[in-house]
Each structure stands twice: as C-alpha cells, then as structure tokens.
A = this chain, B = another copy of it.
C-alpha cells in the first residue's frame, strides 16, 4: 500500500501543492465588489483571478491567505473565514494544485488595491459585472456568494462590510443588495433593534435629507446566533 509506506518511511515530499486563495468582498457605491488581480504569468496570463499563492511549509494556511491579501490591500480589520477546499485533479493545468479558499470581508475604508509581484494589476470589480476568471475561480466565487448570502441571514457578516459606525439605511442596503430583494424599512429596523446588538452613538451622518443616526455593533454581540429550529 503506497499510502502506508509513505506514512512510515518517505521524506513526505508530495506531488500535491497547496495554495490559499482569497475571495475578498467590499461594499462600495451600493454594490458588492470583489478584489481581483490580473495575472502576470502563465497559466492564464493576463486573466483576472483571486489573490492567492502557495502555502509556505512553515506557515498556517490562514496565514498564507492573510499574507496574500495583505500584498494587495492596506489590510486593516479583515474578517477571514475558511470557505472550502477545491482539489479536483486538473483544476490547474500546471500540476496537481489543491487550493483552500477563504472568504474575506473588508470595510469600505480599506485602500485601493495595487498590483504587486505576480499581479500586473489589481482592482475592485462589481460582482455583477465581472471579467472571465482564471482556473475554477468562477465556481469558487459562486460558492463564496452562496455562503455570504446564507450567513447574512444568521450571523453578523453584514456588519463586517460596513464602516464601524453606520446608519440603518446603509445596513439595509447591504442586506438588499446581497439578498437581491427589497426590505421594509420599518420591519428591518425593528428586527435589528430587537436583536439588541447595536449601540447608538450621538453622531449623525449628513447627506441629502435628514441626517441619520450612526450606530455601531455592540462589542459583546455574539458573532453568530444559535439557529432557531427550522427543520424539519
């Protein structure tokens, strides 16, 4: 049995390489946007892809994800969560490369990305107006979007896409855009308030019309509510 022998005696060099890729979302201009880099090298040279790269032998996979993301953005206050591991043979034409995909949520006040190293360019792209993506990154994106929509409904990920202080309409727009449906202003406000996760501030955001009160997520607001029984 090759597996057994390998586990006992070999040097453990593997023919499988491991990368970490990051699907990083930001919410700007009332749109959900995605961090993409333009690949400088083959394969898929010139195509857009998620930031990512090989995991070093002595760093954790998550550290690799953070590092790759850091190379492209100012990286401040990131929410990072492991998404799924994609490893079908053939997903990378070079060799057998398995990637651990991460979901990152950035607040709108992170800087603009800058090309670096293996990136000829880097940019935020609205998710509903994307160029074709390299590798199986479109499938990964689909998965990330599904997860984001899903978690929006039972966790506080929606708040991670906003500035630390935000108004109710800003929060509502995040929910509306990601869920692709419109919500009732009064019911939305009541539901959020009932959850008791916000702290009001004395500050207001002025724009057109009446200024809106700013709120922040309470520090002790648990990140994820225990699911109420839904099923069966």
Contact = CB atoms under 8 A, between A and B. Distances in A.
Interface centre among A14, A18, A56, A59 (most CB of B within 10 A): A14
Contacts of A60: 87-89
Nearest to A152: B231
B153 A2 contact: no
Size category of the A interface is 35 or more
Task: Decide if the interface of chain A is mainly helix, strand, loop or mixed.
Answer: loop
A159 to B, nearest CB: 9
A59 B4 contact: no
A167 interface: no
Interface of A: 1-4, 6-8, 12-18, 41-42, 53-61, 82, 84-85, 87-89, 94-98, 100, 117-118, 150, 152-156, 158, 188, 191-192, 195, 197, 225, 227-232
B231 A153 contact: yes
A225 B15 CA distance: 39
A152 to B, nearest CB: 8
Given A16-B17, A41-B7, A117-B4, A230 B228 contact: yes
Nearest to A227: B153
Of A1, A96, A150, A197, chain B has the most CB atoms within 10 Å of the CB of A96
Contacts of A17: 12-14, 16
A118 B1 contact: yes
28 contacts: A1-B118, A3-B54, A3-B118, A4-B41, A4-B53, A6-B54, A7-B53, A7-B118, A8-B42, A13-B13, A13-B15, A14-B15, A16-B18, A18-B87, A55-B98, A57-B96, A58-B89, A61-B98, A85-B85, A150-B227, A152-B231, A153-B228, A153-B229, A158-B232, A191-B232, A192-B232, A225-B230, A228-B230
